[in-house]
Amino acid sequence: MWAVVFDLDGVLVDTAKLHAEAWRRLAGELGISLSEEFLRSLRGLNRMDSLDRILEWGGRTEVGPAERERLAERKNRWYVESLEHLTPRDVLPGVVELLDGLAFYRVPVAVASSSKNARLVLERTGLAKRFSVVVDGNAVLRAKPDPTIFLEAFRRLGVFPQDGVVVEDAASGVEAARRAGARVVGVGRPEELPGADLVVSDLRELTVARLKALVDSAAP
């Protein structure tokens, strides 16, 4: 048996822009300007790691732990408010078709996301019923590139990581998946996803056959 584990933000649902908008708003209040390239570098990181990187970028390393918690909570509140407007139309191209194909062949699937709001996003977009296994930031404290979140997802699916594929859009997620022992499909720009076994622009380029071929290529 083999399985596929999906990241959420930027892979299944177009929520990466909502995170970016919330971080840019928070940074603006702190007098920090964030470029698009910098915002892309935050993909795959959890909330506190992202905030730490922003504060370091802006030279605001004097901000203490209590204030960091307050800032992170403010950003999350803005982000959660923006989720109220999510609908199935925010599911990215090719996602439904690929999930339909995997379901047809009875390939187990899971979501592994550092976001603590993953289940809310899945509910809002109508994807929740498609995943019996969801591992999020509430279940796993160690953020990518630590492999724990993917190891836990494969454990819950009852599949060895060596018999699985991870679909990711962040360099930290690609590294985490490789450290877990799985094959990796990167979604995005090849230069931003080093180590991915295959890179696609979106899930319309993926098929069940292409995913299975990746798993088979890892066999001894």
**Which residue has tokens 């590294």?**
175
Provide the annotated binding site: 7-9, 23, 42-47, 50, 75, 113-117, 144, 168-169
Closest CA to 117 of 4, 13, 3, 29: 13
Out of 7, 90, 136, 163, which one is annotated catalytic?
7
CA–CA dist 145, 192 (Å, integer): 15
pTM of the predicted structure, to 2 decimals: 0.84
CA–CA dist 84, 28 (Å, integer): 23
Provide the annotated binding site for substrate: 7-9, 23, 42-47, 50, 75, 113-117, 144
CA–CA dist 129, 123 (Å, integer): 8
Active-site residue, 7 included:
yes
Work out the average pLDDT over 24-36.
93
Provide the annotated binding site for Mg(2+): 7, 9, 168-169
DSSP 87-148: -GGGBPTTHHHHHHHHHHTT--EEEE-S-TTHHHHHHHTT-GGG-SEEE-TTT--SPTTSTH
CATH superfamily of 3-14+88-217: HAD superfamily/HAD-like (3.40.50.1000)
pLDDT tens string 115-140:
888 999 999 999 999 998 999 988 88
| Topology, domain 15-84 | DNA polymerase; domain 1 (1.10.150)
Instruction: Report helix, strand or coil for 206.
Output: coil
Label residue 219 by pLDDT band (50, 70, 90).
Answer: low
Instruction: Report helix, strand or coil for 216.
Output: helix
The two domains 3-14+88-217 and 15-84 share their CATH topology (first three levels equal)? no
pLDDT tens string 144-194:
899 999 999 999 999 999 999 999 998 999 999 999 999 999 999 999 999
- At 24 the pLDDT is 94
218 or 217, greater pLDDT: 217
Q: Where are the domains of the chain?
A: 3-14+88-217, 15-84
**Which residue has tokens 């995005």?**
188
